[in-house]
Each structure stands twice: as structure tokens, then as C-alpha cells.
Structure 1
Amino acid sequence: MKDKILIAGGYGNVGQVICSYLAEKFPGKIIAAGRNYEKADNFSKTTGGAVLPMKLDVAENHENSSLLDEVLLVVMCLDQKDTRFIEACIRRGIHYIDITASYKLLSDIEAMAGLAEQNGSTAVLSVGIAPGITNILVKHCKQRLGILEEAYINLLLGLGDEHGKAAIEWTVDNINTTFDVVENGNLQKVRSFEDGKESFFSEKLGKRMAYRFDFTDQHVLPRTLNIKTVSTRLCFDSVIFTRFFAILKKLGVLNLLKLKNFRRLFVKVFENFRLGSDIFAVAVDAIGEKEGKRAEYHCSIIGHKEGIITGKVAGLVAEKIYNGAYASGVFHIEQLFEPEEILKELEENIEIRCS
């Protein structure tokens, strides 16, 4: 019987949150899968068997694998080098959720929309905070304004939070990138951690200078919500560290990250040193029209422990897909869900302010 939910990377930081959330709803139907069976088994024991362990390597060929015979839904928490596992899931009609921040991978999955429709599979992308909650907040802004022309997304991350190694490596690898953004309906090339812009996060955090960063939401939202200008910027809870980082980028010091040994050392520092708090915040500054007049709308959220919130968002989406009947195809979170559906369930974990 196809009634299991498989979380690939289920014993990792975010994976454990997803497994625990879903095990409360569907005990005995949740599988924590990964290459290290011992870790999966040890985690399973902490749940009293509510979460089942499985040895699974997503890099292997699973086109005819019996491991997926009872699986109805897969939640992916691992970085993948290709889409073979995803395609194997979709061809079998298995629903699929991915928390990846890689725009290349998201684009490759988007290309499978026709395959998903043919096989009755629902794939949900942009599930987490950025992308994820950022997409939902922008949709909320559009609904309040009526016509949304410009969306400026700002993300604040706490340097004292426990970030997984994959997330740290992704951040480090994107510090020196050049990427395209949509401005006034046209593509413009910009550089990561440059072009600072000030945004108000909250009474406590105040205004912060944030810098461009290659988050996927700014590539997706112009298409899914029909917005002419979208940008996403990043800062840290430490104002001093954010400024220091921007100066290093301007001086070209961060180009040293292209050297393997320097990159490895940099990642290690972020892994082992807590340089701030575990806070995170998202602020969206929206500009458009309301009732025929130019209008602005601001919406922000503040929370703690980014990984836990990412896990809860993914768990919530998984619960809805498992219980509901959604259209087949490939969708981003804002295309399937209303802001109230997601934000209301997170009220205990985040503070929301809109004006």
C-alpha cells in the first residue's frame, strides 16, 4: 500500500524536524532515509519507532527500486547533483517536495511539469524560508495591494544559529556570484553582496543594510506572480559583521574563496563558531497600486532557529499534500497555497507585522 512519507536526509538538522512533525500526524508511516543507516536507526529509536529508518542513496538508480514501492510522498532535504531520483519518483506517481535553494535544480525540476501531469504527481518547490516564506509574504503583499509592481525582499540571518554544512557551503559558494535579476521587466546582471539597500525589519532590529544575494525567490516570483521588479538581499544579525563582509567583498578578499583550502577553512569557521544569535527575519517592501493609486505595503516576520522553521514549513506542506487532492504538475509554494494557510500555522513560532 502506498501510504508512506519518505524524508531523504531525514536524520539531518532539518530532516529531523520534518520527521518529528509528521510522525505526530502519521505515526509509523514516516521514513527517515539516507546513506548512513546507523544514523537513521539511532534517530528512529529516539522517536519510539514512530519514524522508520531506511538506507537510501539518492545518487543510485531507483527507476525500478523496491524501496519506493510503498512511498506516496518524498520530501527531499539533500543536495542532488542530478535529477535522476526525482524523475524516478515522478514517473511512479510519487508526490515530491524539495527544500533546495539551488535555482539550477529548481529549473530542472520545473522542466518535468509535463511528466508530473502525465503520471499524477504533484511536486512542490520553494519550500522553506528563502525561498518559501519569502514567496508567501510577497503573495500576501500582492493580495493587499491589488497590483504589485516591485518587491524588495530582505533576509536577516543569525550567525549564532546552527546551520547545516550544506547550507553554509551554499552561502559561501554564492558570495562571489554574478546573476540576473528582473528589473522593470528586463534582466539585469548584478553581483552578490554588493548594491546595499536599507530596510526596516522591526522595532527591535530597526533598519539594516542588506546586500544582493542569489536566492531563488527573485528568479521565480516575476513569473509566478507577474511582478516587474524583484530583488532579494541578505544581512546578518551583527551589523559590524555585515559591514565587514561587504568591505571584504569590495576589496576582493573574498575571491580567495575560490581556493579550496581557504574555502574549507571559511566553512569550518562558520560551522564551529557562534558569532551572534539564532534570530532570523524577513522583510518585504512592496510597491504597486491600490484602488488606482500608487501604494506601498510592508510585511515582516521574525523568528528563531531558521532550520526549525524550514522544517515546519516543509512538514506543513507535506501534511497538506498527503491529505489533500492537488493538481498534478510542478508548482512553487505560492502557486498552491494561500498565505493564511501557511502563516497561521506558524504563529506560535514567528512574529508577523504588516502595514
Structure 2
Amino acid sequence: VLSVGLAPGLTNLLVSHLQSQFDQLHQTDIYILLGLGEPHGAAAARWTVQNLNATYTVRENGQPRQVTSFGEQRVAHFPAALGQRSVYRFNIADQHVLTRTFGLNSVSTWITFDPVAVTKMMAFMRRTRLSALLRYKWVEELVVRSSTAIQYGTETFAIQVTAQGMQAANSQTQTAAIVGKGQGRTTGLVTAPTVTHLLTHELSAGVFHSEQLLEPAPFIKKLTLNGITFYENSGS
């Protein structure tokens, strides 16, 4: 079973929740805010560093398009006190998975960090091509060690999905978001019900993602009982 973390994982389940409110879901944009105040392992830091220079393919309007991490910027409006943040394209697996599991025409994932200074530094490195230095192993290792030795920022995270599609012959946009603290703990809240499902249901052989096993509505309700806040709004 794959997609049992924050992204992919929570992101997939939010898309699944929103899909149920459309006759046809065409496009989703996934916005991720990660607080760096929580301890992170070297593997997570190394993955982030290695993907800063990534070139990858997304699906837009049903067609493949080649993009780069931190190559495009937009503004996202997160719930409550998190407010407006600059977010950047990033090579996270959910955008690749969701085009297959939901058959969407367009899926893109965007990321930002808390503190904001880290996001600005990464954008600056990418824009000035200083990030090319990360291809040297000793530079990569220095950055990884530095980022894991010091925790700064908050432990808050936010996952927000904006979906566009058709409902009753009208174009519609809906947004759903989850805000909480403790990425490691929340990953456990995704993993536990997934494991329970595997133990209590007979499944055919194959590879599954969390949104193919869990019903989003009861799952989200359980999250809210564990200190996670759920937001939702819609517009035409």
C-alpha cells in the first residue's frame, strides 16, 4: 500500500473527498505548507535537497508538460492565521499518482515552508542556479547535516486542495484543507486506519493507494478528533 503519509496520503484523501462533490472533476492544485520546527531525519532532508533541481512531467489540460521544482511560483491562501503564502512547484509523488487513480486532466503540487526565509532561500538558489552546487555530494551532505542539526520554524503543517470541475452543468471550484501540528504523528494517523483496513478486509493482489482503501469522510472526522482542523469552502 502506497500514499500513507501527508503527501502523498492526506493529499489523496482530500482529493477523494472533493471528487464526491462534482459530477466531473477536471483539475486539482495541491498546496503544502511544512513547518520545520519538528525534527526531521536525514532521509527526508536529502530527498528535499535532491528534488530541488528536479525536472519532471505534470499533466495540464490532458497533456504532459515538463516543469522544474521551484520553477514556477503562485500565491496560496491558507486557512486561519496561516494566511497568504508564496508557493512553488515541487516534485511530490501525489500529482503523478492522482492523474492515474482519478483520471484528472490537470494536477499540480506546490510547496512552501515555515519559516518563510527557508522558502525564499530555496527560490533564490534555484533562480540564480546556485542549487546546481547540490549536485556535488559534499555540498549535499553539508546542507543535509545543517538542516537536521537545527530545528527552526513551527511544527504546523497545512494540506490544501483546490478542485475545479462541473456540478449540475455549472463550473465550480471547491477547496478543502487540513491544518495540524506534528507531521510524524499525523502520518501515524493516516497509516493506522490503512493497516486496520488491510487486516479486516480481503483484498485482491496488487498495489493500492490510501484513497482506494479509505472512505474520506469518516477518515477526516477521526482526524478532527485528534487535534486536526478541517476547513472547506466552495465557490462558482
After superposition, residues 1-355 of structure 1 pair within 5 angstroms as 124-347=1-224, 348-355=226-233
**Stretches of structure 1 lacking an aligned partner (at least 5 in a row):** 1-123
Q: Does 150-159 or 234-243 show the bigger shift?
A: 234-243
Alpha-carbon distance in structure 2 between the residues aligned to 1:177 and 1:245: 13
Contact 1:284–1:300 (8 Å) recurs in 2: yes
Q: Deviations over 1:52-83 (max 9, x none)?
A: xxxxxxxxxxxxxxxxxxxxxxxxxxxxxxxx
Alpha-carbon distance in structure 1 between the residues aligned to 2:122 and 2:93: 21
Q: Deviations over 1:277-315 (max 9, x none)?
A: 111111111111111100000111111111111122112
Alpha-carbon distance in structure 2 between the residues aligned to 1:353 and 1:312: 18
Percent of aligned pairs sharing the same letter: 38
- Kindly tell me the number of residue pairs found equivalent between the two proteins: 232
In the superposition, the TM-score normalised over structure 1's length comes to 0.64
**Stretches of structure 2 lacking an aligned partner (at least 5 in a row):** none
Contact 2:194–2:213 (8 Å) recurs in 1: no
Q: Deviations over 1:74-100 (max 9, x none)?
A: xxxxxxxxxxxxxxxxxxxxxxxxxxx
Partner amino acid, structure 2, of 1:127? V
Shift of 1:146: 2.6
Partner amino acid, structure 1, of 2:228? I
Shift of 1:151: 0.1
Partner amino acid, structure 1, of 2:202? A
Alpha-carbon distance in structure 2 between the residues aligned to 1:349 and 1:176: 35
Shift of 1:335: 1.6
Q: Deviations over 1:296-341 (max 9, x none)?
A: 0011111111111112211221112112223332111112221123
Alpha-carbon distance in structure 2 between the residues aligned to 1:207 and 1:257: 29
Larger Rg: 1
Alpha-carbon distance in structure 2 between the residues aligned to 1:319 and 1:222: 27
SS, match of residue 129 in structure 1? coil
Partner amino acid, structure 2, of 1:177? A
Q: Deviations over 1:141-175 (max 9, x none)?
A: 11112311110001100111111221111111111
RMSD value, Cα:
1.2
In the superposition, the TM-score normalised over structure 2's length comes to 0.94
